[in-house]
Each structure stands twice: as C-alpha cells, then as structure tokens.
Amino acid sequence: MICFALFSWYPMVREIVLSFQQNNFVDPGKWVGFENFRTVFADPAFWAAWLNTAAFSGLALVIGYAVPFVLAVVLNELKHAKAYLRFVVYLPVMLPPAVAVLLFKWFYDPGSGLFNQALGVVHIPPLSWLDSTSTALISLVIVSTWMNLGTGTLIYLAALQSIPGDLYESAELDGAGLLKRVRHVTIPQTKLILLVMLLLQIVATMQVFIEPYLLTGGGPENATVTVAYLMYQYAFNFGDFGGGSALGLMLMVVLLVFSTIYLRVSREEAER
C-alpha cells in the first residue's frame, strides 16, 4: 500500500509542481519590473499581432463555427452514406497539422497551385493568397478551418442525436416550418454545447502558431503576425525570453477569461 501510494503520488506531485512552475516562471533571471512589457508595447508588431489574432479568431469563428453546425444538421438528416461522410469529414483532423499546412502551401502557390488553377477554370484571375496583405490572413483561416472542421461537426452531430424526436413532432403539429424548427427546437436544445464549443474555439484559435510559422513567417508586412508567433519570435529569434514571457502572460490573461466562462458553462452542461 505504501509502495503503491509512493508510486502514484510522486507523478501527481510532479504534475502539480510542474503546473505551478509553468505559471510562475514569468521572469527568469534578473527582475526588471515592467521593462519587458515596455519593450513589447513599443514593438510595432505588437498591435498588429493582437489585431491579427483577434481577426483570425473572428474569421475562424464565422466560418469554422457556423459551417460545422450546418454540416451536422444536414448529416443528421441523411440516412445513407453516414459512416462514409463521418469518416471523411474527420480525415483532415487526423493529418499532422504540419502536413496539412505544407500541403496548403503548395495549393496556394501563385503559379501552379491548385487554387489558382481552379480559379482559372472558371475564368477568375489568380489570387496571390499568401503574398498579399489583404488575402494572407484569410488564407491562414482557410487552412485552419479545413484542418479542424471535423471535430466540431462530429461533436454537434452527437449533440443533435440526443434531441428527443417528439419535440420536432409537436413543433410541426403547431405548424412550424423547417427553419422555425431549427430555430426553436434544434438551437435551444443544443445551446449549451454550442456555447461550450464557441468558447473552446476562441481559446484554440487565439493560440494560432503553426499556420503563420510555416506559411508566411508573419508577413507580408506583419499581416499575419499572431501573438503566439510573436512570442516565439521574441524568445527564439530575438533571444529575448523576458519579452516573450510578457506576451505569453498577456495572452494567458485574455484566454483565462474565456476559460473561466467555459468552465462555468460546461459545469452547467454536466449538471443538466
């Protein structure tokens, strides 16, 4: 018993210790007060990074939040090819993100890339996807959405399947049309899951790193610098760990707000 307790307690303590160290390790070495924050604030990329991160999250929400829900509603109605569709929609999630991102880098290629070729077929002039300040961020959102769509779709699908059928039946008897039924039955019944996913998505998309790292390097002209990417740059390209940590801390504060709301909502969901 003692032996086992030792074996199981030690890793737990380690985990706790680790998690505390991670939190408190903001400023290693000499204490410089708010110096790091001042450095970071003065960086022209700083505001660009926050704006881009917010824009990325916002766009990812608009596309990546509504689309999976619609897909799930449609999938839930279909009686054929269900297994195939579920499998296929989750396929990109299983790809290593680095593979997916590099694959899209090739698709975005301004010359022979698949996307411009496809546009050419319908006689639309080629876009410069990653190389222009106006399309670069959107291009990142597209990759990210493609990669992660499956998760949301399958989670919504599971939630939809738990809606009791007689709710739809009585709504229909009351004369509710298709859209009304979606509005007054489907959405209220899945409200908590929708909210949980919204918060999860915000937290996930605000940490975006791999897309700008592999696709654009933050360019062109800081159009795709995100907070997480800037943090990485500070620590590993500029050798300024303090500045990077200051950014990390700011990001953490913002995300903790969403996480806390998430915790509350998901607790409500669990109690239901």
Partner 1 sequence: MRTLVSPLALRTPRGRIVYWTVLVVTVVGFTGAFVFPLFWMVTGALKSPDELAQIPPSFFPKTFDFQVYADAWDQLQLGVFLKNTVLYAGGAWLFTLAVDVTAAYALSKLRPVLGKLVLGAMLATLMIPPMVLLLPMYLVAKDVPLVHADLLNTPWAIWLPAAANGFFVFLLKRFFDSIPKELLEAAEIDGASPLRILWSIVLPVSRPIIGVVSILSVVTVWKDFVWPLLVLPETEKMSISVGIASLSAQMPQNVLIASLVIASLPTILVFFVFQRSIMSGLTAGSLKG
How many CA atoms lie less than 13 Å away from 7 in the CB half-sphere? 4
70 or 134: CB nearest partner 1: 70
How far is the first Cα of the chain from the last one, in angstroms, to the nearest whole number?
Answer: 38
The CB-of-223 to partner 1 minimum distance in angstroms stands at 20
16 or 134: CB nearest partner 1: 16
Residue with tokens 């239901």: 272
Identified binder of partner 1 from the candidate list 110, 128, 172, 195, rule CB under 8 A: 172
66 or 134: CB nearest partner 1: 66
| Helices assigned H by DSSP within the chain | 2-24, 35-42, 44-77, 82-94, 97-107, 114-121, 136-161, 165-173, 178-181, 187-189, 191-205, 210-211, 227-232, 241-271
Q: How far apart are CA 52 and CA 194, in angstroms?
A: 25
Answer yes or no whether residue 129 interacts with partner 1 by CB under 8 A: no
Q: How far apart are CA 254 and CA 44, in angstroms?
A: 20
Which range touches partner 1 (CB under 8 A), out of 34-42, 78-86, 134-142, 217-225?
78-86
Q: How far apart are CA 263 and CA 255, in angstroms?
A: 12
Identified binder of partner 1 from the candidate list 35, 45, 86, 220, rule CB under 8 A: 86
Site string for partner 1, 180-219 (x = CB under 8 A): -xx--xx------x--xx-----xx-xx-xx---x-----
4 or 34: CB nearest partner 1: 4
Answer yes or no whether residue 103 interacts with partner 1 by CB under 8 A: yes
Give 126's DSSP letter: P
Which range touches partner 1 (CB under 8 A), out of 38-46, 55-63, 94-102, 130-138?
94-102
Answer yes or no whether residue 42 interacts with partner 1 by CB under 8 A: no
Task: Tell me whether residue 135 is exposed, middle or buried, using C-beta atoms within 10 angstroms of its C-beta: 0 to 12, 13 to 18, 19 or more.
Answer: middle
**Which residues 14-33 are close enough to bind partner 1 by CB under 8 A?**
14-19, 21-26, 28
The CB-of-10 to partner 1 minimum distance in angstroms stands at 9
Q: How far apart are CA 30 and CA 248, in angstroms?
A: 18
Residue 113, phi then psi, degrees to nearest 5: -65, 150
Identified binder of partner 1 from the candidate list 35, 132, 168, 198, rule CB under 8 A: 168
The CB-of-62 to partner 1 minimum distance in angstroms stands at 18
44 or 80: CB nearest partner 1: 80
Task: Tell me whether residue 144 is exposed, middle or buried, using C-beta atoms within 10 angstroms of its C-beta: 0 to 12, 13 to 18, 19 or more.
Answer: buried
Identified binder of partner 1 from the candidate list 59, 136, 228, 230, rule CB under 8 A: 228
Site string for partner 1, 52-71 (x = CB under 8 A): --------------------
